[in-house]
């Protein structure tokens, strides 16, 4: 997948100060908006632990409904609807398969092969990500900050208390349909996302991201929208069609582990990044980070995405990717220690000209074979998954 840039936005549901408590509504008090603006201005470099354990019950309830969890507050009146119970059953059945075939085996593999890196990751940088919080979290569950970049717009959040029941339930089905490829294959298809996320009601990736954040056992602490100044600094704004960034703060179920996800809608081509250097200035401000690339359409194989490729090679302390990320030849033995996992024998027809004989040779020469107990990425068609983990030597 590959991804875009526009202008600004902000929702007035952010982190407040005080003891651990439940907000009755993030819209009740203008002071919460002021606190939210302060929090986002102070957010670089990010230290999520500085935030109080406060649940934003409005967005948390919305995300619960999206993810098939019975709502606690404002959405309870429609849960007796037959269409809701059907949606909930379908979502939970889908999720059982995701856990069985994807996240649980990824967790076992991660603990064996990435435990030191995963537990020590302050910031995970995931370009060409789209709405893929699921696998960012699956491979790096302890990251303090997730920075995801995609072409897809952020979009609006629809609420059960502001839509007719029939329309809201139809909206939920659109969310479920848009998650199909990610849940089944382990990646979002760009063409499908273009169709799924350009509807009147479902017009962006934020509902999908909230689905995954809530479904993976987290509670929402606040959502804020922003743009960037010319030096990569955050500028708060209001949510509208030109919004380029959204910040979602959340906690684990114990409310003891705060984390933050940033999604920015940017075109990562050289042409656009040279016009808008503020994006990589923003990413760089997080300090040491780990890179993650999956189903990236082989874009960094071309001369049009050299800026992003060079940024990753220069700035990341380590990179986890499949073969669609950075070409294998750029991981020079003098600079990188590389370990290969899974199987690499072919590419799908759409990308057959991106096959890498040198990567295949490296797999064949590796004395010890390192399998992966799950299937994600383009090569699920062939029942193959390949992963490359590169750690910088200096």
Burial of 43 (0-12, 13-18, 19+ CB in 10 A): buried
Write the pLDDT tens digit of every residue in 264-308.
999 999 999 999 999 999 999 999 999 999 999 999 999 999 999
Distance, in Å, from the CA atom of 308 to the CA atom of 320, rounded to the nearest integer, reads 15
Contacts 24+ apart (CB under 8 A), 119-124: 121/289, 121/290, 122/286, 122/287, 122/288, 122/289, 123/46, 123/147, 123/286, 123/287, 123/288, 123/289, 123/290, 124/289, 124/290, 124/291, 124/292
Cα–Cα separations (whole angstroms), residue 149 to 3, 23, 310, 368: 7, 30, 16, 35
Highest mean pLDDT among 4-8, 153-157, 355-359: 355-359
Write the pLDDT tens digit of every residue in 60-115.
988 999 999 887 777 777 777 788 889 899 899 889 989 999 999 999 999 999 98
Write the pLDDT tens digit of every residue in 276-286.
999 999 999 99
Domain boundaries along the sequence of the chain: 21-392
Distance, in Å, from the CA atom of 191 to the CA atom of 169, rounded to the nearest integer, reads 25
Query: Predicted confidence band at 241 (pLDDT cuts at 50, 70, 90)?
Result: low
Mean confidence (pLDDT) of the chain: 81
Cα Rg, the chain, nearest whole Å: 20
Distance, in Å, from the CA atom of 89 to the CA atom of 87, rounded to the nearest integer, reads 5
Residue at token pair 């009740």: 28
Element holding 22 (H helix, E strand): strand 21-22
For the residues 194-213, what does the mean pLDDT come to? 70
pLDDT of residue 25: 35
Token reading at 251: 């906690």
């Amino acid at each position: 997948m590959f991804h875009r840039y526009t202008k600004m936005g902000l929702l007035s549901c952010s982190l407040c100060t005080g003891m651990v408590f439940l907000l009755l509504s993030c819209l009740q008090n203008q002071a919460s908006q002021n606190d939210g603006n302060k929090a986002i201005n102070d957010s670089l470099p990010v230290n999520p632990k500085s935030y109080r354990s406060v649940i934003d019950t409005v967005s948390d309830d919305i995300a619960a409904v999206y993810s098939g969890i019975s709502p606690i507050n404002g959405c309870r009146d429609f849960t007796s609807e037959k269409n809701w119970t059907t949606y909930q059953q379908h979502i939970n059945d889908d999720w059982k398969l995701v856990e069985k075939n994807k996240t649980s085996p990824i967790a076992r593999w991660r603990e064996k092969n990435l435990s030191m890196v995963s537990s020590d990751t302050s910031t995970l940088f995931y370009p060409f990500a789209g709405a893929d919080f699921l696998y960012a979290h699956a491979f790096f569950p302890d990251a303090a900050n997730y920075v995801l970049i995609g072409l897809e717009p952020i979009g609006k959040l629809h609420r059960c208390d502001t839509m007719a029941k029939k329309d809201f339930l139809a909206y939920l089905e659109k969310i479920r349909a848009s998650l199909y490829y990610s849940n089944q294959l382990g990646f979002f298809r760009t063409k499908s996302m273009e169709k799924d996320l350009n509807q009147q009601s479902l017009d962006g990736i934020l509902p999908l991201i909230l689905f995954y954040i809530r479904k993976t056992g987290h509670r929402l602490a606040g959502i804020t929208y922003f743009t960037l100044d010319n030096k990569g600094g955050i500028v708060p704004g209001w949510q509208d069609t030109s919004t380029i960034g959204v910040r979602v703060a959340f906690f684990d179920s114990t409310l003891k582990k705060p984390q933050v996800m940033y999604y920015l809608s940017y075109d990562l081509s050289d042409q656009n990044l040279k016009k808008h250097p503020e994006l990589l200035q923003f990413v760089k401000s997080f300090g040491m980070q780990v890179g993650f690339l999956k189903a990236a359409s082989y874009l960094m194989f071309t001369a049009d995405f050299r800026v992003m490729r060079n940024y990753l090679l220069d700035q990341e302390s380590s990179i986890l990717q499949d073969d669609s990320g950075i070409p294998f030849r750029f991981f020079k033995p003098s600079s990188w220690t590389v370990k290969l996992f899974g199987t690499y024998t072919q590419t799908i027809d759409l990308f057959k000209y991106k096959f890498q004989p040198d990567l295949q040779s490296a797999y064949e020469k590796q004395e010890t074979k390192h399998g992966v107990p799950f299937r994600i990425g383009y090569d699920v068609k062939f029942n193959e998954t390949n992963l490359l983990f590169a750690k910088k030597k200096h």
